[in-house]
Structure 1
């Protein structure tokens, strides 16, 4: 149990998957939470659900695009007005792109690099004035194990993820003078909409999700023998965002179930 009462957290991409699990865990620990996403209907539905789960919690949700700097500035201003100054920012980037070097064109490279970098840059710029004023400020970037362990069938995403890992370390160094810690997590295979869609498209229709995902984990050589759960990733994120990790900056927690082979 972490006491986060009186603290304000922001989660981008907070309406589904790991982002939503992080919002829920932060609310459980007493934080006031703002979250955003691009899908207005899903955002409203999630907010309604969370209000039913946490009737006394302070929360704010707004549709915005993290790749649009003006959107993020408007979101940051609204969060200040609704909840107060932010001390925890979770940059939760989007999904990966499956493509090799040979079949990734220039526009696709630019799209992938922009998504991975500016989904961190724009929110960080928007909320930095708040974070600089907080005595316990923290930024957490949700990254992938591809940053350290690239895959040739995800060449653009692997390269972009490696850049973001470097960016986290650079921001941690620069922002330390302002008292702002910056860390990240490196995700392996986590139960998500992406894997659920692949399950629905499976050839062996009699396989249950449990059997299918267990076989997937075996093929991918995940030592724990299963996919991760969004809640497990959220636990690592909240740890890094909270005062429990007050002497940690410029680091990454590996959340991959043992599939990691990098040093």
Structure 2
């Protein structure tokens, strides 16, 4: 009898695993948010300033409240690599900031039936350097004499990969703040940074002026949005409608503040 009890317990545990991953102990489905300074901040980094949880966090939280979905869905901030991997495995209902943060090889692991929302913001990559250093105007400007840094786990476009391949050495760092520090220390000649993410790093380091970059050269652009598994279509439709309404009413710019990048700024 006891043996039958343990066998039953094991089977129930195995069957409940995926359910617990999507539906948490409080009965809510989880939306995975990739940690991005100023956009999606982890609780640890905002312990003393709980309201400063990142503008993307605030935006999606506000939409969940307004649509009545907050009673069934909650945001959880994780390192990007883990957030993407666990979403691809079906352990999260949705993921932000969306499909463009997945490299080609990572997209092969995704279900083709994913739901993808309209963008709520954009991101673009710039190649920054110390004042007096020649600006990078194309991937060919980075040569075998140069060192370059980039945040670990970010999506890499063909032009970005070409720069990394051309460089004498490239370093991967944990955040845009570390990226700026690599440049400031002189360990690298160039840094690949993501706007608007890097704005928080400038503020954290107390830098009033940004490092120069060629404004006409953008080796990668990204649409920041929300993707969801098909079984969460009802919730997705409500979130998509809210994003479109925010766009039409100009509320995206209000909520995102200095992190808002209007489409007309993109190349």
Larger radius of gyration: 2
* Larger relative helix fraction: 1
Whether the TM-score (by the shorter chain) exceeds 0.5 is no
Task: State the TM-score, normalizing by the size of structure 2.
Answer: 0.31
TM-score by length of 1: 0.31
